[in-house]
A and B are shown apart, each in its own frame.
Chain A
Amino acid sequence: MDVILFLIFALIAVACAINVVVQTHPISSALSLVGVMGSLAILYLLLGAEFIAAAQVIVYAGAIMVLFVFVIMLLNAGAETRKGRSYLIPGAPLLIVFLGLVAYYVQRMFPSSTMVRFGGFTGGGPKDIGHALFTTYLLPFEVTSILILVAIIGAIVLARKEIE
């Protein structure tokens, strides 16, 4: 059951990811990206990380992508015109070679005995995540929050009107 669900949602994720690049209209690309985020959330859920799955949907699919779609709608971006498909001739073989290499090295570096087992992971609840964030990873967590704060202040400084 786990494997079937994994295959279904992995396929959906890959198909949506390809669709992001293939689509000519920005809205269609953005919505495909939402599909990728959603199927990734279900993959997290299958692995037993329910908090990360919920956070994935709330933050990525629900907040960031809504802003993307909002900006695309606001700027009223139209479909891009595309000249031929000649880029496929060098691109497609290169992509296949690259993916093959990645698959090969993943297989070499992580032998199948240490691969992730469905449901074998139990550290994905809100309590475990919170505990890990505020003990083991306290410094990266605080540094990240300061980084985000700096980004927010920078955005406000850039966006506000000039005061003479």
Chain B
Amino acid sequence: MQLLDSFIFITLLKAAVVFGVLMTTLAYLQWVERKVIAHVQVRPGPYRVGPHGLLQPVADIIKLLTKEDLLPPYVNKPLYLLAPFLAISMALLSISVIPFGPTIQVGPVTTWMQLTDLNIGVLFILAVSSMSVYGIALAGWASNNKYALIGGLRSSAQMISYELPMSLAIAAPLLISNTLSLRQLVEAQSGGIFNWNILHGPFPQVISFIIFTIAAFAETNRVPFDLPEAENELVAGFHTEYSSMKFASFFMAEYANMITVSAMATLLFLGGWMAPWPAAWGSSLVPTAIFAIAGATALYHGANAARKRDKLTLPVFGIIFLIIAGVFLLPMVQSWLLPLFWFAGKTGAILFLFIWVRATLPRFRYDQLMGFTWKFLFPVAMLNLLVTAFLVAWTTK
């Protein structure tokens, strides 16, 4: 009991759980991305490794681990080795302050579904994300390759520029919630969709949500702002000279940053783990309904299977979905599983938006990219912040 109650043990356990879940999500986010883009482009996507390509991430990890780790002779060795380490550690660090849900009770222990709550949580994430520029900039410079250097320069210029509208867009909902702690930020948005910062307050934060999302695309170097790795101009950009696990850490850092900014958007604007309408009106039945419908669909298609193997795989998936639907009805897990469902659902929706945009939009030209943020995004974010500040000052007291 002494061991179970100790702060260090619980923190280590939580860190292990969060790390494991994050790593699995990273690997499968890649699979989801390839599948979604494939279906947008009317092709099946990964299909060979496992049913519907579900074991593709595992195969990718084995491939990346066993590839030859090249160290080109002309690189600046200490910085070349430091850069991927910086990129991945900064990307993973910010997950430590993100709250996934309210308190959870496991036996005698009650703890928050969050690694730690800082009273400057939002500033911590901004600080860590501003440090993550170094990983990419140094990778580009230390590679001693002109394409990598241009990629690194583009990336650092772009990230500095988009950090300004992003910070201003974050500041506006903070004015309404009046806190910098991410946990209190979510608690201030409880009680249904009209209390979320995107719709609530003297000035609904729709504009800052849109600005935040656009800036998040640029901060994570995603399409349509993926100029740092524009392959038709720069080979592969800043990570041209990297192979094996060093390349994988840049890759993982990009996806971890995607998850962090999506979680941030959820916490700041979409009410975190709060359900969109009260449980009295049946919000606790939504996950059950979704999984039950998915299970029933899978069972139906399994019964009328077009191909032979679907007769086995689809009913198995259907039964798994139905079991999950049943689990959501159990009262002892509902208290923490439902918040987790809403948090994961909202974050997943924003991640889907990332992938959807990648499949849809072409790349910007570099001058358009810079002109867009300095001449349009930044003034709009500033105006939005001013209007919000005036209205908040007007309505409080």
Contact = CB atoms under 8 A, between A and B. Distances in A.
Contacts of B131: 57, 61-62
Interface stretch (A65-73, A82-90, A99-107): A65-73
Contact of A125 (B119, B134, B149, B153): B119
A92 B123 CA distance: 41
A57 B160 CA distance: 14
Interface residues of A, number: 20
B157 interface: yes
Contacts of B79: 27, 31
A126 B180 contact: yes
B120 A54 contact: yes
B141 interface: yes
Contacts of B130: 57-58, 61-63, 66
For the complex of A and B, list the 3 residue pairs with the smallest distance between their C-beta atoms, beginning with the closest.
A62-B130, A54-B123, A57-B127
Contacts of B22: none
Contacts of A34: 134
15 contacts: A31-B138, A54-B126, A54-B127, A61-B127, A63-B160, A66-B137, A69-B138, A69-B141, A70-B156, A70-B157, A70-B160, A73-B140, A73-B141, A73-B152, A125-B119
Contacts of A63: 130, 160, 163
A70 B137 contact: yes
Contacts of A6: none
A74 interface: yes
Contact of B153 (A54, A58, A74, A126): A74
B141 A126 contact: no
Nearest to B174: A126
User: What is the predominant secondary structure among interface residues of chain B facing chain A?
Assistant: helix
B377 interface: no
Given A62-B127, A70-B156, 7 more contacts: A31-B79, A54-B123, A54-B126, A67-B160, A69-B138, A73-B137, A125-B119
B180 A73 contact: no
A138 to B, nearest CB: 16
B124 interface: yes
B213 to A, nearest CB: 21
**Chain A binding site: helix, strand, loop or mixed by DSSP?**
helix
Interface of B: 76, 79, 118-120, 123-124, 126-127, 130-131, 133-134, 137-138, 140-141, 149, 152-153, 156-157, 160, 163, 180
A99 B141 CA distance: 37
Contacts of B163: 62-63
Nearest to A69: B137
A53 to B, nearest CB: 8
A54 B79 CA distance: 25
A31 B124 CA distance: 21
Contacts of A66: 130, 133-134, 137, 156, 160
Contacts of B160: 63, 66-67, 70
Interface string A21-48: 0000001000100100000000000000
A54 B140 CA distance: 27
Contacts of A69: 134, 137-138, 141, 156
A101 to B, nearest CB: 36
B395 to A, nearest CB: 19
A55 B152 CA distance: 25
A132 to B, nearest CB: 17
A58 B126 contact: yes
A126 B133 CA distance: 25
Contact of A58 (B119, B127, B180): B127
Contacts of B138: 31, 69
Contacts of B120: 50-51, 54, 125-126
